Amino acid sequence: MVSMKDIAVACGVSVATVSKALNDQKDIGEETKKRVRIIAKELGYHPNASARTLKTNRSYNLGVLYKEKSGSGLTHDYFSQVLEHFRYTAENSGYDITFLSNSKTRKDKMSYLEHSVYRRMDGVMIAVADYSDPEVVELLCSDLPVVTVDYCYHGRISIMSDNVSGMEKLLSYVYAQGHQEIAYIYGEDSMVTASRISTYYRFMEEKKLKIREDLLYKGRYRDSGIAGVITNRLLDYNQPPTCILYADDFSAIGGMNAIKSRGLRVPKDISIAGYDGILMASQLEPQLTTYRQNTKGIGCMAAEELIHLIENPQETPICEHTMSGELILGNSVAQVPQKI
């Protein structure tokens, strides 16, 4: 195994100089750094992770807690993108990532916190979790640096998609197209769902539109089957909605299929809109109107904030960061004439 001493001999410098060059310290010139790195690569040098941990008291390993309910795992369109950008940013900063598992799935029965300590994780990003789970609460209340995504917890940095702005933009566009009977099929109980529903109520009240409770239905995120069933119920009304909003694009696809199965057309007979802005939404016919969440910004900021909290705990403010997305105007919302 090649050591720093071997590199020092090959470069004609001290071991200390090699160490500083490989760790990009400022008191070493750029030319020296470049030469040391080139020779280190030629010799096949790889840093010793254990030695690095002992020296810095850090493992350069970040934990990821991702336990979503839909069963889609890492194929989840929204969270897979958040996780990919988190991973990319972390690795570019010299960190590895490890997925956490809890006592229900581990043979050694370790909790999330115990697993984090056992793996010497420097910090944890919680992407999806049941926040009423005692193991999650234990992790959040520990001294370990933690950043949450789409959930606010007192004393923890959170990275939030701007669900209020997202719903407002969707509703404003639909309303501008003349729709007043607007249904909403929302997802399971969560902080995200609560923000979107409250925005729906507030928007309808501000526009002085009648709020029909029968147009609000609880579905499930990424469940096209349930979305299709509820869509059929809405269409069976004597006074059906003119537009249906869905919790996500995947659910909107289920709704679109239900509409087409009845011989109806989107948007001529009924308008629809989704949420998330996944790639599939742009490939539908008609193209889906939706709100694209900023998965890149959320994932990158989650990694940046967690690493900054680990490396500069006294200088890192504990606060909520909100990431805005963009409205994608497809062809699934028709303009309807205003009632006179």
- Amino acid, single-letter form, for residue 76: H
Query: How far apart are alpha carbons 31 and 74 in whole angstroms?
Result: 43
User: Would residue 52 count as lying in a domain?
Assistant: no
Backbone torsions φ then ψ of 230, nearest 5 degrees: -70, -35
| pLDDT computed for residue 54 by the predictor | 47
Residues 173, 141 share a domain? no
| pLDDT computed for residue 72 by the predictor | 64
Residues 238, 185 share a domain? yes
- Identify the domain containing residue 186 by its residue range: 163-293
Structural domains in the chain (count): 3
Q: Give me 112's structure tokens.
A: 């999330």
Q: Which of 221, 189, 186, 191 has the alpha carbon at shortest distance from 126?
A: 191
Residues 35, 18 share a domain? yes
Per-residue pLDDT tens over the stretch 211-261 = 999 999 999 998 999 999 999 999 999 999 999 999 999 999 999 999 999
| pLDDT computed for residue 340 by the predictor | 53
Written as one string, the DSSP assignment of 177-217 is TT--SEEEEE-SSSHHHHHHHHHHHHHHHHTT----GGGEE
Residues 265, 301 share a domain? no
Written as one string, the DSSP assignment of 54-119 is HHHS---EEEEEE--SSS-GGG-HHHHHHHHHHHHHHHHTT-EEEE---TTT-TT---HHHHHHHT
User: Would residue 31 count as lying in a domain?
Assistant: yes
Per-residue pLDDT tens over the stretch 128-176 = 888 999 999 999 999 999 999 999 999 999 999 999 999 999 999 999 9
User: Would residue 125 count as lying in a domain?
Assistant: yes
Residues 149, 81 share a domain? yes
User: Would residue 68 count as lying in a domain?
Assistant: yes
Per-residue pLDDT tens over the stretch 55-98 = 556 789 999 999 877 666 677 788 899 999 999 999 999 999 99
Query: How far apart are alpha carbons 96 and 47 in whole angstroms?
Result: 14
Q: Which of 248, 255, 251, 220 has the alpha carbon at shortest distance from 234?
A: 255
Contact by Cβ (8 Å): 215, 184:
yes
**Which residues, including other chains, have CB under 8 Å from residue 165's CB and lie 6 or more apart?**
324, 325
Query: How far apart are alpha carbons 313 and 323 in whole angstroms?
Result: 23
Residues 144, 208 share a domain? no
Residues 274, 247 share a domain? yes
| pLDDT computed for residue 70 by the predictor | 63
Q: What value does the mean pLDDT of the chain take?
A: 90
Residues 195, 308 share a domain? no
Q: Is 245 helix (H, G, I), strand (E, B) or coil?
A: strand
Residues 283, 182 share a domain? yes
Per-residue pLDDT tens over the stretch 282-308 = 888 999 999 999 999 999 999 999 999
Mean pLDDT of all residues in 19-39? 85
Contact by Cβ (8 Å): 129, 69:
no
| pLDDT computed for residue 18 by the predictor | 85
Q: Residue 307 is part of a domain; what is its CATH number?
A: 3.40.50.2300
User: Would residue 330 count as lying in a domain?
Assistant: no
Query: How far apart are alpha carbons 270 and 259 in whole angstroms?
Result: 8
Query: How many CA atoms does the CB half-sphere of 299 hold within 13 Å?
Result: 19
Residues 221, 275 share a domain? yes
Count of other CB atoms within 10 angstroms of residue 276: 29
Q: Is pTM, for the whole model, over 0.85?
A: no
Residues 258, 168 share a domain? yes
Residues 269, 124 share a domain? no
% of the chain at pLDDT higher than 70: 94
Residue 48 has pLDDT above 70, yes or no: no
Per-residue pLDDT tens over the stretch 189-225 = 999 999 999 999 999 999 999 999 999 999 999 899 9
